[in-house]
Structure 1
């Protein structure tokens, strides 16, 4: 009777490892062929003939492997860079521990690094991460590595790319076109979040459009119809940034919590200064992750603070007014930006009394702000190194 052996996860891992080894072997043979051809053509006396034959090396390899010249050039350049700069990474590839996709991403990272010590640090750390994480996780890790190890140069590259921001329109068939925008990541993320939120809220019962169609229609309306953008749409976006970066002591990046994008921290400082966004700054203990402080930077109160103030006061804070707080505006007693967005400096005012206060006709409320408490100094060891910040993009 024939017997069968059940497939195990170890068998699957072996298959993947063999495949990686095969990739490494194939690329190694491509390099060997290229090097042999370079040596052979070096003996050709005619410089024109030598140039022509060398230009055909990638084409010849591509014909033998079924790949394009661009694919061959990519593999050869990756092999040259990784073998020279990070030989341990190449050895891991040859041994089947990492595949070509991971090696290609590592090669692209090496190309961005300009300091030998940074490349050495990458080699010492990347193999362990690459062998235990997915390709997508490795891609994010490599981007963060560049931003943290050579933050000054990464910020320069970001500023250069920012200068190239643009919008392009490509007209296609069937009366449709593509609208493409090359924007700073935090702006694109705010647009994306705003589209997603509004496309899923305030939908009429007879609206049979898909979410994607509503998003497209909204974007078109925002660009064409000025009345479509008269009111702000909240979009919650969270980023993390180092305390030293936030203080301006060192260059660095603010990174989205999902790791998909990061921008120089100074770009977000510009957003804060514009007054069009709202930030939460949460100071977190680096050891226990306990929240040490929650500060608000911006004009508009977040939902949590707004709800707390509604519950606290119940009604409009103008003398004798009984309008329920949920129907009131949240007013800064000391106007923003001089006055902070805090519970002590904010309270509900109905629209009428809010307008009177704005025109200088209402000078006090039933709950005047308390004097600030004496500061409490808390020493933390080790010192906190990260802030978690969230802003609501209007």
Structure 2
């Protein structure tokens, strides 16, 4: 996406870059002070106990000087050390103000997850170009997908280990209320989320004064406490004969789908990914209809049909929503369920086909209609290149 800009907007860009440079100077100064103090303590302090105490006091001294807690100082030093030592391209971009501290933090966290030196080098070569032009939230999703793709075998092992920790938790609070939590596989969580969101927004009795949030809570209680496996009829507020109806989309690389390589099935909005074999275990269960989109690893081509009408038919509209996941406005995370399917090149000059369509939320759709927002000439890939 590209937005139309006027000269005054450059002032904001300059301010953002100067702020990022200031963050880099502050973090660099913190690291240099820490390193000097560690060297001094090593050379001048003989007592092991005193050496330990003085090392511990470094974060306290930095925090007092800069208005941070010790924990904040230690956290900043930790990811800054990681990026400075393992990603020189990122560190240079940070020092020049091209990326800010928030993006450096996300990159540092990802480096700590990677176990192979080549993976870190590959990240260093690619990440700055993406980080410069995308929001922190978009970068976080890109980094998660990067880890799942370049070290798929290790990521699958970690996922299997985490799956063994699945559990449900209960916490009773004040005023006769409490919290119910569950640590679940992401694809199962997505199916539950899809089902409850859709069911809670079904047409209800006009006299029903409950909010959507209240209906979601009541629905969950009904499902958990019902003696039947069926759902809850929200139109009447009573337990009825509903069925599970969830549409979940995942993207799977062709080589992973064929079983040639380990890999992940990734949600189209980038929020989660699970080992591809987990999806295979549940796809035939019959309770949830899974849409599988196989993406060419080179061209990212998934649609080859063209239609002569203005409005995309249901099959194309659904595929586009599953492909993109969110509004394609810059940095916008509005889910596709609340977006319009828009033509990049206006119809009828622009065809109604996959490479000329994409989701825009109503606000960004309005911006585009008034010439404030402009589509790029081709779709932006949602996934990082491995």
TM-score above 0.5:
yes
Q: Is the 8 A contact 1:282 1:291 kept in 2?
A: no
Q: Which residue of 2 aligns with 1:255?
A: 266
RMSD: 2.0
The aligned length equals 289
Match of 1:88 in 2: 89
How far 1:135 sits from its partner (Å)?
A: 1.0
1:245 to 256, 267, 275: 256
The residue aligned with 2:127 is 126
Q: Distance in 1 between matches of 2:15 and 2:64?
A: 27
Instruction: Give the Cα separation in 2 of the matches to 1:11 and 1:171.
Output: 51
The C-alpha deviation readout for 1:115-162, integer Å capped at 9, x for no partner, is 111111111110111111111111111111111111101111111111
Answer whether contact 1:198 1:233 (CA < 8 A) is retained. Answer: no
1:170 aligned residue: 171
Counterpart in the other structure of 2:18: 18
The answer (yes or no) to whether the contact 2:159–2:275 under 8 Å persists in 1 is yes
TM-score by length of 1: 0.70
| 1:108-123 equivalences in 2 (<5 Å) | 108-123=109-124
Distance 1:84 1:284, change over 3 A: closer
Confirm or deny: 8 A CA contact 1:44 1:50 kept in the other structure: yes
Q: Give distance in 2, aligned partners of 1:190 and 1:181.
A: 14
Alpha carbons 2:166, 2:185 under 8 Å: kept:
yes
Structure-to-structure mapping, 1:381-392, within 5 angstroms: none
Residue 352 of structure 1 corresponds to: none
Structure 1, unaligned stretches of length 5 or more? 1-5, 293-302, 305-394
Measured in 2, the distance between the counterparts of 1:130 and 1:283 equals 26
Structure-1 separation of matches of 2:105 and 2:211: 38
Kept in 2, the 8 Å contact 1:284–1:291? The answer is no
SS of alignment partner, residue 226 of structure 1 = coil
Residue number in structure 1 paired with 2:282? 271
> Which structure is higher in RCO with an 8 Å CA cutoff and minimum separation 6?
2
Find the counterpart in structure 1 of residue 332 from structure 2: none
Provide the secondary structure at the position in 2 that maps to 1:154.
Answer: helix
Deviations 1:319-338 (A, max 9, x none): xxxxxxxxxxxxxxxxxxxx
C-alpha deviation, 1:231, in angstroms = 3.9
Instruction: Confirm or deny: 8 A CA contact 2:99 2:131 kept in the other structure.
Output: yes
Which segment drifts farther, 157-166 or 225-234? 225-234
Contact 1:166 1:182 in 2 (8 A): yes
Say which SS state the counterpart of residue 283 (structure 2) adopts: helix
Relative to structure 1, the CA distance from residue 29 to residue 287 in structure 2 (aligned partners, 3 Å threshold; closer, same or farther) is closer
In structure 1, what is the equivalent of residue 47 of structure 2?
46
| Residues 242 and 283 of structure 1, relative CA distance in 2, 3 Å threshold | closer
**Greater C-alpha radius of gyration:** 1
Confirm or deny: 8 A CA contact 2:147 2:155 kept in the other structure.
yes
Q: Given the superposition, is the C-alpha separation of residues 282 and 291 from structure 1 closer, same or farther in structure 2, using an over 3 Å criterion?
A: farther
Alpha-carbon distance, 1:269 to partner: 0.6
TM-superposed CA distance for 1:17, in Å, is 0.6
Alpha-carbon offset, residue 91 of structure 1: 1.0
Flag the 1:7–1:272 CA change in 2: closer, same or farther, 3 A. closer
Q: Contact 1:283 / 1:291 at 8 angstroms: preserved in 2?
A: no
SS state at 2:271 partner? coil
Distance (whole Å) between structure 2 residues aligned to residue 268 and residue 77 of structure 1:
36
Secondary structure (helix, strand or coil) at the match of 1:248 reads coil
- CA drift at 1:275: 3.6
Residue 291 of structure 1 deviates from its aligned partner by 4.4
Q: Which residue of 1 aligns with 2:3?
A: none
Q: How does 1:272-287 map to 2 (within 5 A)?
A: 272-281=283-292, 286=299
SS in structure 2 of the partner of residue 156 of structure 1: helix
For residues 187-266 of structure 1, the aligned pairs below 5 Å read 187-227=188-228, 228-229=230-231, 231-266=242-277
User: Residues of 1 paired with 2:190 and 2:283: CA distance?
Assistant: 16
- Deviation at residue 287 of structure 1 after TM alignment: 6.7
**Superposed counterparts of 1:353-368, under 5 Å:** none
- Stretches of structure 2 that go unaligned for 5 or more consecutive residues are 1-5, 232-240, 306-313, 316-386
Tell me which residue corresponds to 1:290: 303
Find the aligned partners of 2:93 and 2:144 in 1 and give their Cα distance: 21
Question: Which stretches of structure 1, 4 residues or longer, exceed 2 Å deviation after superposition?
Answer: 226-231, 273-292
Report Cα offsets for 1:142-183 as digits up to 9, x if no partner: 111111111101111111111111111122221111111111
